[in-house]
Structure 1
Amino acid sequence: SSLANYLQDEYGFDSQNTFSTGFSNGGDMSYMLACQANDVFRAIAPVAGCMMEEIYNTCDSSPVPVLEIHGTNDNVVWWNGDMQNNDGWGAYYGTEEGIDFWVETNGCMSSENNFLPNTNTSDGSYIINHRYFDCIDNAEVWLYEVVNGGHDWPGSSGNMDIEASDEIWSFFSQFISNVGDVNGDGVLNILDIVAIVNIILGGAPEVPSADFNGDGLINVLDVVEMIGFILQG
């Protein structure tokens, strides 16, 4: 999270729209960040990752959108986990158990399973999208089960039905916060200023989009900066 904060400060990256993805160990790291720095990372998308036992057992997270892409025949990060640490990397939970953790954490009430188009029949695999929705704060949980897939980044190696990078960005894009659009009508105007004032006065719960100047606080400085932004427009 320190690196993310540095990049936000140094290059002006949007503090409300920082995401994490990674492959294998990078996927494990993404789960750790969701547990330990969910105030920094808006959503995660591990590929061939897992929830290590220690992270799983100590995770006290707010709802975080999660997309996991994982092959059922992954011979490095096993689909069914390795709670006995037989492989020597440390004990970790199975893919479905990790997903169930986030479904429960995010309070998802509905689910659906869809087969993605098997556009490349020569790669020996196909994908089922397990989608969990109607969640707290719209924090959906998706699992791309790559049936017969290995320890791969789909589109680069292994399964060629999807480009994992495109799927991840499409998932993240659903959760991009439009900073300043407090009432969610797609327009920044006087109504959003009124909404921020209402939050400051305690008449409404805080929402990330109200922190217009990105300083981590919702106060009169956000109102002043938003007024200036609207007048310039």
Structure 2
Amino acid sequence: MKQALCLLVLACPVAFANAQSGNNDDCSNAIEISFGTTGFSTLNASNDGPPLPGDCDEGFGTGFGFDIWFTLTPDQSEGIVVSTCDTADFDTRLAVYTGCNGILVACNDDGPGCGGYTSQMNFDGVEGETYLLRVGGFDNERGTGTISVEYGDGPPETPNIDFQHDGLTRQYRILVPDDLPESAPLVLALHGYGGNNNDMANNYGWRELAAEEGFVVAFPNGTRDQSNARFWDVDYAFHGQFDIDDDGFLSSLAVHLQDTLDLDPERTFVTGFSNGAEMCFQLACRESATFRGFGPVIGMMLDTLWVDCDPEFPRPIITMNGTLDNVTLFGGDMGNSGGWGAYHSIPDMVDFWVDELETPELERVFLDDIDPGDGSTVRLDMYSSLDHGRQLWYYQVNGGGHDWPGQWGNMDIDATREVWEFFKAIEAEEPEEPGEPADLNGDGSVNAADLGYVLAFWGIGNTGGDLNGDGNTDSADIGLILAAWTG
């Protein structure tokens, strides 16, 4: 259950921090905010806050103006939900920092399911640490409303669990539905750069879908980089100093959960957003013995992976990209103008996996434009083969940005459900039935031909017809032939 200070909003006092007085218009004059609900106004706020990085662009830019500031000090280390969702009369924007000149911890423009372009963000709070909470409007929007600060409903039910790997204490959250079927599937869902597993657990629809469909979903955390941002080590150009074994961590975690929860190794999958999507591609190249399917959403393949990708097993892939993404450029960035590192275009990446998975047959479908107001449409390319059952599904979001479809940006599809339905349709590889050991010539019968085979290799130390494993072909092996005789 969500830990809130008040059970009913109507029964709770609402404290008002009014920016019209100018008390908290600047970060240096931030006022303390308590957990619960606080009224605010930005009508007379100034437009002087710091710019947001590109990672905060949810498809509509990084404009953030007419802001006011609060200090927030949690009394426990848990996930924190900050929200103006449906409680403000203007297009809000939220951000939280470690200090006035500190590091950006989290940001949000349009919260999932929030009307009027209001906001909701999650971040991992540390007990006793003071954070700077910034509340303002998209571009030049101003208005009034209430803001709530609560401990999120993710961490109390799904606390971070420590997992030791390669000398590091890693963390994950996990959702295990009630009445889980025997040998259930497992999905690992990976956050983006600067995100965290609390956000992935609460804001992408996995909680509800796992309960509905009966699968376990785990949310690992990346480690922190020099900017205190969580990341997956896919060899970004600015991460040269790091050598984090995320491949081994995620593979080991999956096997650990299979063993401890009796989950199905043949139905173990991984998906992720942005940096998490790029980690999916890396795992598809390097850890295909553990994962049976991959779901990268809005990611690319760095050239360093491209030239060194050699999957042990080709596995099915479902992937999505927006043509107007200004973070993961649709046309690629082999010159590394964006600083992430050199990467090929999205169409070239799709062709790469078509070749790798040996899926030359293409069926193209243009999906219904369910929400014309989102400014984008979806084309689905389904690649398959006449020789095997592997498939590659590529969703091209025409006019789409750096978004998780169905949560923000394109609303014609629900990426979470699309990924799961693709995973669910992957057929588990059936183990071959062991043959009858006495059928030495493999014709499906134990008869005179097999007896002749034993006689042909008769002798001490001759293993050609050795059925009982004693190193000899002798009368004991004839006894096994006669016992299994089918004629």
TM-score, with length taken from structure 1: 0.76
- How far did residue 175 of structure 1 move? 0.6
Mapping 1:103-122, distance limit 5 Å: 103-122=354-373
Structure 2 match to 1:160? 411
Check whether the contact 1:149–1:159 (CA below 8 A) recurs between aligned residues: yes
Structure 2 match to 1:129? 380
Aligned AA (1:23): F
* Moved >3 Å (runs of 4+): 199-203
Structure 1 match to 2:262? 12
- How far did residue 95 of structure 1 move? 1.2
Whole-Å separation in 1 of the counterparts to 2:385 and 2:436: 25
Whole-Å separation in 1 of the counterparts to 2:334 and 2:388: 32
Partner of residue 435 from structure 2, selected from 175, 195, 198: 198
- How far did residue 21 of structure 1 move? 0.5
Give the 3 Å change call, closer, same or farther, for CA 58–143 of structure 1 in structure 2: same
* Secondary structure of residue in 2 paired with 1:30: helix
Mapping 1:74-85, distance limit 5 Å: 74-85=325-336
Check whether the contact 1:19–1:43 (CA below 8 A) recurs between aligned residues: yes
Structure 2 match to 1:141? 392
Whole-Å separation in 1 of the counterparts to 2:436 and 2:333: 47
Partner of residue 273 from structure 2, selected from 23, 26, 41: 23
* Structure 2: 5+ residue stretches without partners: 1-250, 443-487
- How far did residue 134 of structure 1 move? 1.2
Whole-Å separation in 1 of the counterparts to 2:272 and 2:404: 10
Check whether the contact 1:127–1:146 (CA below 8 A) recurs between aligned residues: yes
Give the 3 Å change call, closer, same or farther, for CA 135–107 of structure 1 in structure 2: farther
Aligned AA (1:2): S
Whole-Å separation in 2 of the counterparts to 1:17 and 1:33: 16
TM-score, with length taken from structure 2: 0.37
Greater displacement, 94-103 / 147-156:
94-103
Whole-Å separation in 1 of the counterparts to 2:390 and 2:406: 26
Partner of residue 307 from structure 2, selected from 57, 62, 82: 57
Whole-Å separation in 2 of the counterparts to 1:166 and 1:137: 25
Deviations 1:12-49, CA, capped at 9 Å, x for gaps: 22111111100000000000000000011111111111
Structure 1 match to 2:218? none
Give the 3 Å change call, closer, same or farther, for CA 88–114 of structure 1 in structure 2: same
Greater displacement, 34-43 / 4-13:
4-13
Check whether the contact 1:126–1:161 (CA below 8 A) recurs between aligned residues: yes
Counterpart check, 1:151 vs 2:388: no
- How far did residue 78 of structure 1 move? 0.8
Give the 3 Å change call, closer, same or farther, for CA 135–70 of structure 1 in structure 2: farther
Check whether the contact 1:106–1:135 (CA below 8 A) recurs between aligned residues: no
- How far did residue 55 of structure 1 move? 1.1
Counterpart check, 1:101 vs 2:352: yes
Greater displacement, 104-113 / 132-141:
132-141
- How far did residue 199 of structure 1 move? 9.3
Structure 1 match to 2:70? none
Give the 3 Å change call, closer, same or farther, for CA 84–36 of structure 1 in structure 2: same
Whole-Å separation in 1 of the counterparts to 2:373 and 2:436: 56
Aligned AA (2:374): D
Structure 2 match to 1:43? 293
* Structure 1: 5+ residue stretches without partners: 183-194, 204-233
Whole-Å separation in 2 of the counterparts to 1:136 and 1:97: 24
Whole-Å separation in 1 of the counterparts to 2:267 and 2:314: 15
Structure 1 match to 2:339? 88
Aligned AA (1:58): D
* Secondary structure of residue in 2 paired with 1:91: coil
Deviations 1:135-155, CA, capped at 9 Å, x for gaps: 664111111000000000000
Aligned AA (1:88): G
Whole-Å separation in 2 of the counterparts to 1:39 and 1:132: 22
* Secondary structure of residue in 1 paired with 2:330: coil
Q: CA RMSD for the aligned pairs?
A: 2.0
Whole-Å separation in 2 of the counterparts to 1:41 and 1:118: 33
Check whether the contact 1:107–1:135 (CA below 8 A) recurs between aligned residues: no
Deviations 1:195-219, CA, capped at 9 Å, x for gaps: 511298896xxxxxxxxxxxxxxxx
Mapping 1:175-186, distance limit 5 Å: 175-177=426-428, 182=431
Deviations 1:142-178, CA, capped at 9 Å, x for gaps: 110000000000000000001111111111111141x
Check whether the contact 1:83–1:91 (CA below 8 A) recurs between aligned residues: yes
Aligned AA (1:34): A
Which of the pair is proportionally richer in helix? Answer: 1
Aligned AA (1:156): Q
* Secondary structure of residue in 2 paired with 1:196: coil
Check whether the contact 1:134–1:140 (CA below 8 A) recurs between aligned residues: yes
Aligned AA (1:127): V
